[in-house]
Structure 1
Amino acid sequence: MTPEKSIFSKIIDREIPSEIVYEDEKCIVINDINPKARIHLLVIPKKPIATLFDLAPEDKDLMGHMMLLLPQLAQSQGLDGFKTQIHTGESGGQEVFHIHIHLLGN
């Protein structure tokens, strides 16, 4: 039995529409549908990794790519500062079990 796709996998596969801010071969960036700041982006890897606990050594380039993308995204949104959040596990506030980085700025 194939596990059910996350909402983010469905967005990546264009099964669910979303406002895409940026996309490349490794990740997609969308506006959060429930923003907690004036700018609230979600940086989502195309590889479905449930949580930070599930990262493997071969994921270091993917995670580095996303981290280096964050300041570029912030600047493209006119931000001169921002904060990031990665929720991990239910007790860490994670709601969608597909790693993603929140980029927030005002």
Structure 2
Amino acid sequence: MPTFNQNILNSFVEVFAEQSTILVDQLKQVAGKGEFDIYDYVSKCTLDIFCETAMGVKTNAQTTDCDYMKWVSRILERGVNMVWVYVDPKHFLFNWIPTVKNIFALIDKMQDFTAA
């Protein structure tokens, strides 16, 4: 059976609709009040949809202060910084770099969250 058959995709429509409604409500609160960064709103909506459909976990990133969202952001920030300091991952010092240790710790938190 294919991973993304029509029945599975149809079951996601309710999640898409629910999370999109929350996104619209969030945007209504800031509309007409000057400039704002839409990335924050769309990325939280995307996280809510992804976690619920792919992992069966509700993060409520759009409506609560979501730790999972913070962990993802920190990993991305540290990953971008690692581009400037290349160390071969096979080198024995790689796992001792503080940024790498921090990334692995954040990944552990994310895995614990989704496994719960």
Q: Is this a same-fold pair by TM over 0.5? A: no
Length-normalised TM-score, structure 1: 0.30
Length-normalised TM-score, structure 2: 0.28
Specify the structure having the higher radius of gyration (Cα): 2
Q: Which has the higher contact order (CA 8 A, sep 6+)?
A: 1
Structure that is richer in helix per residue: 2
